[in-house]
Chains A and B, each alone.
Chain A
Amino acid sequence: MQQEVVLALLAKEPSHGYQLRARLVQALGPLGDAMNAGQIYVTLGRLEKAGLVACEQAAGVADRPDRKVYALTAAGQQRVAGWLSEVSWPKPDLAEFHLKLIAAAAARLADPVAMVDAQRRELLRRLRDAQRAAMAEPGRSDAGLLLEGIVLRLQADLRWLEACERNWTGRKDQP
């Protein structure tokens, strides 16, 4: 789990680790299932070492991680503010597949159209999974919104594959 995500969740109020985890699971829905319980404590431990988070032991209980209450330090607050104002977006990884098609066609090693078909089948399976998860979400849930994003991206990829197919179908007889 990205450290900034955990930090930003703490900006609302000082919390126990399990409370943060519950909020993450709520926001991610079925995508949060894979997240293991210990992960958030590992991240909190690192943040504490870095001085971004301070932690208080709840009174009367021995050294159990789920009894600690974590809060942002001033440095932590600054980091959260910086992170929220950052513009970042994952780079789409299209060039690799594009170059794969070009190399395969040039060397006559494989039929680019067949490669596009195989890729499409894989994307459709993923779309099916994302769609099923989205359909299982109640309307307008936070997790549903994330799943919609996944669905829309897969649709965009599938449309690009259609363009690839049109292009390579026309060029089949060329070296």
Chain B
Amino acid sequence: MSDAGTTMSSTASTSMLCARGLRKEYGKEAGLVRAVDEVDLDVAQAETVAIMGPSGCGKSTLLHLLGGLDRPSAGELWLAGQRIDGMSERALARLRREAIGFVFQAFHLMDELTAVENVELPALLAGRSPRAARRRAIGLLERVGLADRAKFLPSALSGGQRQRAAIARALANDPLVVLADEPTGNLDSEATLDVLRLFDTLHAAGQTLVVVTHDSRIAATADRLITMRDGAFIDETRLTGGTTGQLSALAGLDG
């Protein structure tokens, strides 16, 4: 993760998401905090990357930078070969709406809108016809297993159902990348499994996904796991590959 500069343009053009020397600072002089400190990241198309680290390590800030929700203090950012860190506010807002899907720990659904209205909203904002937006939203709700809850308000949905609706909403405009910030942070074990299953089908369908999480269950389903501490990446592990074949032993069955 140290080859900044020379190889940047070629990597930037092949990665779905690419960061070079990304930095975010708060405060001044003695009070200066580097929440994100010279981060280089390449996320390939269709890859699932999990970023783990203790609270306050800068992982959420990094995700906000990657999604254009926040501006970096320094560094370069590319999405599908397009440089985005210097974009105008207007262009960035459009990019967030149309090319990036966000999933948050607290779901961030609109309380007064039904599930299907929440899911179709990004498509409407992007200028789709109401009919096309609705059709797409219903399809997405089916995909996340909530077809029968389309007309429910968020308050009538369980936490797991709300998060699945939020994931459907994130997919409304067929984003290049989905960015998820602690998506299972508020969910019980069973709802977590539902979200993991859903991410797994997205992964199989070729969706590029970056997840920031405390939850080792999500981390274990990623292709690649990055550990972050004090604003920087300190470890990277590839988890794909053969199985350990030790499940039975883990359950206390000796064959």
Query: B-contacting residues of A (Cβ < 8 Å)?
Result: 28, 30-31, 34-36, 90, 117, 121-122, 124-135, 139, 146-155, 158-159, 162
Interface pair B246/A129, CB less than 8 Å apart: yes
Rounded to whole Å, the gap between the CB of A59 and the closest CB of chain B is 35
Residues in B whose Cβ lies below 8 Å from that of A149: 251
| Cross-chain contact of B250 among A132, A153, A162 (Cβ < 8 A) | A153
In the bound complex, CA of A34 to CA of B241 (Å)? 21
Chain A residues with CB under 8 A of B219:
124
Given contacts A129-B247, A131-B196, contact A121 B237 (CB under 8 A): yes
Given known contacts A34-B248, A129-B243, A129-B246, A151 and B217 CB-to-CB distance under 8 angstroms: yes
Which residue on chain A has the smallest CB distance to residue B54?
A162
Beyond A127-B216, A155-B217, A158-B216, whether A31 also contacts B247 by CB under 8 A is: yes
A141 to chain B, nearest CB (A): 12
Closest CB in chain A relative to B182 CB, distance in Å? 15
16 contacts between A and B (CB under 8 A): A36-B255, A90-B252, A124-B216, A125-B243, A126-B246, A127-B216, A131-B196, A131-B221, A132-B221, A135-B197, A149-B251, A150-B247, A152-B189, A154-B216, A154-B250, A159-B216
Are A146 and B220 in contact, with the CB atoms below 8 A?
A: no
* Interface membership of B193, Cβ < 8 A: yes
Mask of B174-211 contacts with A, CB within 8 angstroms, 1/0: 00000000000000011001001100100000000000
Q: Which residue of B lies closest to A158 (CB)?
A: B216
Residues of A within 8 A of B217 (CB): 127, 131, 151, 155
Q: When the two chains form their complex, are residues B200 and A124 in contact, meaning their CB atoms are under 8 A apart?
A: no
Interface residues on B, range: 20 to 34
Given the interface contacts A124-B225, A127-B216, A131-B221, does A150 sit within 8 Å of B253 by beta carbon?
no
Contact of B239 among A125, A151, A155, A158 (CB under 8 A): A125
B244 within 8 A of A: yes
Consensus secondary structure, chain A interface: helix
A150-B250, A155-B217, A158-B216 known; A124 vs B237 contact (CB < 8 Å): yes
The minimal Cβ–Cβ distance linking B134 to chain A, given in whole angstroms, is 29
Measured CB to CB, the residues of B under 8 A from A are 54, 189-190, 193, 196-197, 200, 216-217, 219-221, 225, 235, 237, 239, 241, 243-248, 250-253, 255
Of B200, B235, B243, B255, the contact of A35 (CB 8 Å cutoff): B255
**Cβ–Cβ < 8 Å partners of A121 in chain B:** 237
Closest B residue, CB atoms, query A33: B248
How far, in whole Å, are A154 and B215 apart by their CA atoms in the complex? 12
**Nearest Cβ in chain B — how far from A6, in angstroms?**
13
Beta-carbon contact of A148 and B189 below 8 Å: yes
Task: Give the Cβ gap from B144 to chain A, nearest Cβ, in Å.
Answer: 15
Per the bound structure, the CA–CA distance linking A122 and B225 in Å amounts to 13
Central interface residue in A125, A134, A159, by most chain B CB within 10 Å: A125
A152 to B248, CA, bound (A): 15
B253: chain A residues within 8 A (beta carbon): 28, 31, 34-35
- How far is A139 from B251 in the complex, measured between Cα atoms in Å? 19
> Assuming A31-B248, A150-B247, is B239 touching A135 (CB within 8 A)?
no
Q: Which of A121, A129, A152, A158 has the most CB of B within 10 A?
A: A129
Contact A134 B193 (CB under 8 A): yes
User: Please, how many angstroms separate the alpha-carbon atoms of A151 and B217 in the complex?
Assistant: 8
Chain A residues positioned under 8 Å from B54 (CB to CB)? 162
With a CB–CB cut-off of 8 A, which chain A residues contact B235? Answer: 117
Across chains A and B, which 8 residue pairs bring their CB atoms closest together, nearest first? Answer: A127-B220, A128-B220, A158-B216, A129-B243, A34-B248, A150-B250, A31-B248, A124-B220
